[in-house]
């Protein structure tokens, strides 16, 4: 029997950028609450994943948490959170929150305590090491944000590990008390009623216990600074905690892992993560052959009961519409919402928001400030709602924290709802069709051999329900797919209907079509 997180669609809200209710130019929880009807009724998604809203010095916009059990005043307070959760549930929407478990802020009291003295009871909650004999860092591990992953602490004469910014010291997951403390945080939110967690950089939690150097990237050896097999034990503990709730709550993990065998291992035997994020298509060169190869590889790598999931955008990656090109964004939407597995949709991708170019003086992302060209601001611009000032993101006269992306007038929700063939209306139609069709939300997947080069076609079918064939043309020339008999249920142009003629489907350049097959 499938469950909500298998049949449903998850929508990621980056709270800074969704809706500003209190007029400070930064989105907040009350803003998200005011837009829930859009999510549940207008768009038609099933769950919201909220990026961090916890008290934070904002060195990494909330991925540096100073208090796991509160709400940063920028976003509201716990009462706002409880209202948001209750209003989600009243609409049948689930709410998933971010669990930033690998590191805290350097301002978190746990770290202040750990840093205070080598004898502090919490010293071992973080990863401290003596410097190398020459006074340099203890090993060659690199921060994802550039430079050594070690920071020298003058007062206690040791270095602490930070896989990200120096303001984000890594917790030591080998310390049982630190581990228990994070499980306590999980219980805090679960007891409030959240439906699950998206575990931030989940595969960083366990590192090589001997802290040996990483080998050069070309080496066949696995990294030592992350993804140690002891992770499985942590994921099993988290899972049993989540399974202890009724109904069981969801574990989604942020896992960037090129080795699909290792990625799939994080499902465990159905006792680890429900959904280790699958970023395979985020990094695909956008062509039929490559996309098909990646989809087939993911399907083949999954252990039997594991349920796939697909991601085409998030707050760390260049915007989908700019990656694949505006013309291909429609077929990409069809792909995301018709493959077998749970899709996670990034706010604004349903509007085709492009990657914005942010002028240097308005850049915010610490990653971009440290490593020019790597800034993530361009995919975090404000959501566009209407034709008013600041596109309805914040009240008139208020400057949004990041400038609006290009074309705000015609790209907003209001403008797109008025255009029956807009990208937003295509997303709505795809979501409605998916929801109404068991074959699409829980059926099998099989690639069709008949597609000509440049096209990718597959069948989705659940027992007792009409099957569907999805055919996508990735090229800029027309293509013909044979062997498809049925009724056009939806096309990316939203401009065709009727039966396929003699089992043949002609696809325009960049076009995608969902065909409902005859009979169950």
Catalytic residue among 195, 200, 208, 377: 200
Taking the complex as a whole, the smallest distance from the CB of residue 266 to ligand GLC amounts, in Å, to 16
Q: What is the footprint of ligand GLC within residues 414-473 (CB under 6 A)?
A: none
Taking the complex as a whole, the smallest distance from the CB of residue 164 to ligand GLC amounts, in Å, to 4
Among 68, 164, 197, 385, binds ligand GLC (CB under 6 A): 164
Q: What is the footprint of ligand GLC within residues 347-406 (CB under 6 A)?
A: none
Question: Residue with structure tokens 């549940």?
Answer: 40
Kindly report the CA angle at 80 between 75 and 85, in degrees rounded to 5? 110
CB count, 10 Å around CB of 370? Answer: 14
Q: What is the footprint of ligand GLC within residues 205-224 (CB under 6 A)?
A: none
Let me know if 517 is a catalytic residue: no
Query: CB-wise, 200 or 377, nearer to ligand GLC?
Result: 200
Taking the complex as a whole, the smallest distance from the CB of residue 151 to ligand GLC amounts, in Å, to 16
SS3 state of residue 292: helix
Query: CB-wise, 309 or 439, nearer to ligand GLC?
Result: 309
SS3 state of residue 367: helix
| Residue 13 makes contact with ligand GLC by CB under 6 A | no
Query: CB-wise, 68 or 458, nearer to ligand GLC?
Result: 68
Q: For residue 24, give the DSSP letter.
A: S
Taking the complex as a whole, the smallest distance from the CB of residue 311 to ligand GLC amounts, in Å, to 11
| Residue 63 makes contact with ligand GLC by CB under 6 A | yes
Q: SS3 string of 99-155? A: ECCCECCCCCHHHHHHHHCCCCCCHHHECEECCCCCCCCCCCCECCCCCECEEEECC
148: β partners: 142
Taking the complex as a whole, the smallest distance from the CB of residue 129 to ligand GLC amounts, in Å, to 21
Q: What is the footprint of ligand GLC within residues 103-142 (CB under 6 A)?
A: none
Radius of gyration of the chain (CA): 23
Kindly report the CA angle at 267 between 345 and 98, in degrees rounded to 5? 45
Q: What is the footprint of ligand GLC within residues 243-272 (CB under 6 A)?
A: 254
Report the C-alpha gap between 437 and 457 in whole angstroms: 18
Q: For residue 52, give the DSSP letter.
A: P
Taking the complex as a whole, the smallest distance from the CB of residue 168 to ligand GLC amounts, in Å, to 6
Query: CB-wise, 273 or 457, nearer to ligand GLC?
Result: 273
Among 29, 201, 332, 356, binds ligand GLC (CB under 6 A): 201
Query: CB-wise, 164 or 266, nearer to ligand GLC?
Result: 164
The residue number whose beta carbon is nearest to ligand GLC equals: 63
Let me know if 499 is a catalytic residue: no
Q: Considering CB under 6 A, how many residues would be counted as binding ligand GLC?
A: 9
Among 72, 200, 350, 511, binds ligand GLC (CB under 6 A): 200
Report the C-alpha gap between 389 and 331 in whole angstroms: 31
Among 67, 237, 316, 444, binds ligand GLC (CB under 6 A): 316
Report the C-alpha gap between 149 and 131 in whole angstroms: 12
Residues 234 and 204 sit within 8 Å (Cβ to Cβ): no
Binding mask 492-511 for ligand GLC (x = CB under 6 A): --------------------
Sheet holding 10-13, edge to edge: 275-276, 250-253, 196-199, 94-99, 47-50, 10-13, 342-346, 309-311
Query: CB-wise, 14 or 427, nearer to ligand GLC?
Result: 14
Taking the complex as a whole, the smallest distance from the CB of residue 204 to ligand GLC amounts, in Å, to 8
Tell me the two tokens of residue 96: 């998933």
Question: H or E stretch including 33?
Answer: helix 29-34
| Residue 60 makes contact with ligand GLC by CB under 6 A | yes
Query: CB-wise, 72 or 200, nearer to ligand GLC?
Result: 200
Taking the complex as a whole, the smallest distance from the CB of residue 394 to ligand GLC amounts, in Å, to 22
Instruction: Quickly list DSSP for 245-284.
Output: SSSPPEEEE----S-HHHHHHTTTTTTS-SEE---GGGG-
Query: CB-wise, 363 or 425, nearer to ligand GLC?
Result: 363
Taking the complex as a whole, the smallest distance from the CB of residue 69 to ligand GLC amounts, in Å, to 18
| Residue 317 makes contact with ligand GLC by CB under 6 A | no
Report the C-alpha gap between 320 and 375 in whole angstroms: 16
CA 311 to chain centroid, in Å, comes to 6
Catalytic residue among 72, 254, 350, 517: 254
Write out the catalytic residue numbers. 200, 254
Return residues touching ligand GLC (CB under 6 A).
60, 63, 100, 164, 200-201, 254, 315-316
């Amino acid at each position: 029997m499938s469950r909500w997180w298998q049949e449903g669609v998850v929508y990621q809200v980056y709270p800074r950028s969704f809706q500003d209710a209190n007029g400070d130019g930064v989105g907040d929880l009350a803003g998200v609450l005011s837009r829930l009807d859009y999510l549940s009724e207008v768009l038609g998604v099933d769950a919201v994943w909220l990026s961090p809203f916890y008290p934070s010095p904002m060195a990494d916009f909330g991925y540096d948490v100073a208090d796991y059990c509160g709400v940063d005043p920028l976003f509201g307070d716990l009462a706002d959170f409880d209202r948001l959760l209750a209003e989600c549930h009243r609409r049948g929407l689930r709410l998933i929150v971010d669990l930033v478990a690998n590191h805290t802020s350097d301002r978190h009291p746990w770290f202040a305590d750990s840093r205070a003295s080598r004898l502090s009871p919490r010293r071992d909650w973080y990863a401290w090491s003596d410097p190398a004999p020459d006074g340099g860092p203890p090993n060659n591990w690199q921060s994802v944000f550039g430079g050594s992953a070690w920071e020298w602490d003058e007062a206690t004469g040791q270095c602490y590990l930070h896989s990200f910014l120096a303001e984000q010291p890594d917790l030591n997951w080998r310390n049982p008390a630190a581990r228990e403390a994070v499980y306590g945080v999980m219980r805090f939110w679960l007891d409030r009623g959240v439906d699950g967690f998206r575990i931030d950089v989940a595969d960083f939690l366990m590192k090589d216990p001997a802290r040996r150097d990483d080998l050069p990237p070309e080496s066949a050896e696995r990294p030592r600074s992350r993804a140690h097999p002891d992770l499985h034990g942590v994921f099993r503990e988290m899972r049993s905690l989540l399974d202890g709730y009724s109904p069981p709550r969801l574990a989604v993990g942020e896992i960037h892992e090129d080795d699909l065998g290792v990625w799939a291992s994080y499902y465990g035997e159905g006792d680890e993560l429900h959904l280790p994020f699958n970023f395979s298509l985020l990094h695909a060169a956008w062509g039929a052959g490559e996309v098909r190869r990646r989809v087939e590889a993911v399907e083949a790598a999954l252990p039997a009961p594991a349920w796939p999931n697909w991601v085409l955008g998030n707050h760390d990656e260049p915007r989908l519409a700019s990656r694949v090109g505006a013309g291909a964004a429609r077929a990409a939407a069809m792909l995301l919402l018709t493959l077998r597995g749970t899709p996670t949709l990034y706010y604004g991708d349903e509007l085709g928001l492009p990657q914005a170019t942010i002028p240097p003086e308005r850049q915010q992302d610490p990653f971009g400030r440290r490593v020019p060209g790597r800034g993530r601001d361009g995919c975090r611009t404000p959501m566009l709602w209407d034709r008013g000032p600041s596109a309805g993101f914040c009240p008139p006269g208020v400057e949004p924290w990041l400038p609006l992306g290009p074309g705000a007038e015609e790209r907003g929700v209001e403008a797109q709802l008025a255009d029956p063939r807009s990208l937003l209306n295509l997303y709505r139609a795809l979501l409605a069709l998916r929801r109404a069709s068991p074959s699409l939300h829980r059926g099998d997947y099989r690639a069709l051999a008949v597609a000509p080069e440049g096209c990718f076609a597959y069948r989705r079918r659940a027992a007792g329900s009409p099957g569907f064939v999805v055919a996508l043309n990735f090229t800029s020339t027309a293509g013909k797919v044979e062997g498809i008999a049925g009724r056009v249920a939806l096309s990316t142009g939203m401009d065709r209907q009727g039966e396929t003629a003699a089992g043949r489907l002609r696809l325009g350049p960049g076009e995608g079509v969902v065909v409902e097959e005859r009979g169950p």
